[in-house]
A and B are shown apart, each in its own frame.
Chain A
Amino acid sequence: MITLIGVSHQSAPVSLREKMAYQEKELAAGLKELTDREKITEAFILSTCNRVEILARCEGDRGVDCVRAYLQEAGRITSEELDRYSYQYHDADAVRHVFRVASGLESMVLGEPQILGQLKVAYAAARQAGTVGPVLDRLLRSALSGAKKIRTETGISRHPVSIASAAVELARKIFGALDGQSALLLGAGQMSELVATHLRSHGVEKIIVSSRTYTRAADLAEKFEGTASNWDGATSWLESVDIVVSGTAAPGIILDRETVRKAIRARRNRPLFLIDIAVPRDVDPAVNQLDNVYLYDVDDLEGVVEENLHERRKSAEDAKRYIEDEVTDFQRWLESLKVAPALVHLREKLHGVGAAEYSRFRSKLGPLTPEQELQVHNLLRSVVQKILHQPIRYLKDAAGRGEAVDAVARYQEIFHIRSDGEAEAPNENQKAGPTHLVEGGKEPES
């Protein structure tokens, strides 16, 4: 059984999440403690600022209690808090949740890509600790590759959903790549700094900061290895920069239409992108009517963000369909694991019968050359394989339909195979025989 217990920004307050969170150095010990418990065979821990989740493969239905007990005994959460703030998923639901988390569908910012990196780190830690076995390993690898595919196919992370990144997206619609572009910051507030950081990280080369308080401008300019400018001379930069971010606390307009018109003429019509993040606004809205000038204020940027969020929500719907396919594939694989031992035992049983019969009739065949003996062995093997073909196919199909347990039980009954996998004692005629005919290296009981 696959079990997932967790808390996230949607279910629990930050005070509880930070209590449950694992430091990087605590992860290995936590994972070890989990798998040391009797009913937990595999374990994985994801701990980020927004979620802490424990994914475990447990033996039987009581495994979930072991995970709960571990969390309580480790002092990370009380029983009441678990009941009130945590969520629990099992089997297909747990698998679905892992895919949703990896794809960013459960993230605070829908579709954000950071979670994929965090998941990779957590997976590496679990692998290093040796606590992921075949099932969780397969699940996590599928989730990581599936999430990448979902991001590519649906484009869920493509549309920026913060004011600063929306400003960068708009700048790119005007200038293409931002490499080598320059920006002027009017005002040295936090929001201006954030937008400038985004612009800088996307290639804007030169940043000029102008503020009524020159020292603030100088401090911020130093951060970006830019240039500080006197407030009085700020507008002269309009002739040379490509982007203007205005976020002052001025009570009225500081950039009017005439000033910008003159600047555009001096720029020989090179486009100018004005980002007005001030309230009240710094830039006269009429500026947007000028050719080659593009003005966006806070409301405009929020409109862009809202529209992008809408796009992400649409992409999330597509992502859900992909996830359902992935969950079905994984469940099918998981079911196939249930029939694997039965297949091995069935092969052993039938090859055992073949070997016993050969042994019984060997003396009646008279002297055989080694080549003839080999041909007889091959004949027997081929007959057994032919007989096995249809039952094997039936078992695999049953696994695909989620009926593995019933199908295996039927086979055990028909072929007299015990539930521990051992073939039941053969009759007198099947006793003894050459073991080299037995596949899987297991000799039939004698």
Chain B
Amino acid sequence: MGSILFSLSLAAYTVGIVLTILATVNRSVAAKIGSTIALSAAAALQLAAIILYVRATGRLPMSNLADFLMALGWLVLVGYLVVNARWKVPALGMVLPPMAFFLSVLGIVLPQKHSMTEPVMASKGILLFHTSLSTLGMAAFFVAAAMSLVYVLQDRALKRKQSGPWLRRLPSLHKADKAGLEALVWGFPLFTVGIVTGIGLLAMEHDNVKLAVTKPLFPILAWTIFAVVLGARLARGFRGRKAAYLTIAGFVLGLLTVIGINL
């Protein structure tokens, strides 16, 4: 049943992505509505499949790399649907749903190994809390990074006086900046709590606080980048291309970290 739902969700993804491309290229209202329906259906089917999977295996939905990527794919898709409903950024449809699809496919094809839910871990509750918040935070950063990428492309086009059918479909700098900042504001506290609980789990596992703080160097580095960007943006009005580049760098570092932990 679960695999049927996964297959159906991938089919809905495919239809949704094709319609999103059509809607963006032809500005077709019918395709736009169709893409929203298809991608919402994909999200619903994927959620149902994940729930069935958790019930069947008794494992957390983010207990290894494959599961994590599957959950991240679903969250990225939901993130896109939310951002598009709020900010009306159809151009994002060219990036996020295909990425969500790719992550979900990876989640299906990668081998199910190295479960973090082994009894080594002291507390499954804290682990669930940690992985859930970290994944949610990463999904929000995914959206922030995508908006930053869109910002960089639009900024570059404006600076270089470039135009063209694709660049015309990009949102304004203001919209890309605001939506990216909003995603960052949502993602940062989630990621922060995720990091803190992760350190707590390591300390419990190794019974060594010093090791627990120094071992996750890359997650802390990624967190520091986000903290600096967000702090500077909110307190000092830091914005623009450099802020966008830093957001993308923080996201890439964060993603590599999470993948590294799960490998």
A residues apposed to B, CB below 8 Å: 155, 170, 172-176, 268-271, 288, 291-292, 294, 296, 300, 303-304, 307-308, 311
Contacts and interface: CB of A to CB of B under 8 A. Distances in A.
Contacts of A291: 240-242
B240 A173 contact: no
B237 interface: yes
A288 B155 CA distance: 11
Majority secondary structure, A binding face: helix
Contacts of A296: 161
Contacts of A271: 173-174, 240
Given A174-B174, A268-B236, A304-B161, 11 more contacts: A155-B27, A172-B172, A173-B170, A175-B174, A268-B237, A269-B239, A271-B240, A288-B159, A292-B240, A294-B159, A303-B161
B238 interface: yes
A338 to B, nearest CB: 37
A170 B158 contact: yes
A173 B238 contact: no
Nearest to A307: B163
Given A294-B158, A304-B161, A175 B237 contact: no
B154 interface: yes
Given A155-B27, A269-B237, A291-B240, A173 B158 contact: yes
A315 to B, nearest CB: 11
B175 interface: yes
Contact of A173 (B164, B173, B236): B173
A34 B50 CA distance: 75
Nearest to B154: A173
* B27, B164, B165, B240, most chain A CB atoms within 10 A: B240
22 contacts: A170-B158, A172-B172, A173-B154, A173-B158, A173-B172, A174-B158, A174-B172, A174-B174, A175-B173, A175-B174, A176-B172, A176-B175, A268-B237, A269-B237, A269-B240, A271-B240, A291-B241, A292-B240, A294-B158, A303-B161, A304-B161, A307-B164
Contacts of B170: 173
Interface in B171-215: 171-175
Contacts of B171: 176
Contacts of A174: 158, 172-174
Contacts of A294: 158-159
A175 to B, nearest CB: 5
Nearest to B176: A176
Contacts of B240: 269, 271, 291-292
Most buried by B among A292, A296, A303: A292
A304 B163 contact: yes
Contacts of B237: 268-270
Contacts of B241: 291-292
Contacts of A292: 239-241
B158 to A, nearest CB: 5
Interface string B87-99: 0000000000000
Nearest to B158: A294
Nearest to A175: B174
Interface in B130-178: 154, 158-159, 161, 163-165, 170-175
Contacts of B154: 173
Nearest to B239: A269
A292 B161 CA distance: 14
Contacts of A288: 159
A296 B163 CA distance: 13
B152 to A, nearest CB: 12
Report which residue of A155, A269, A300 has the largest number of chain B beta carbons within 10 angstroms of its beta carbon. Answer: A269
A307 B239 CA distance: 30
A175 B164 CA distance: 19
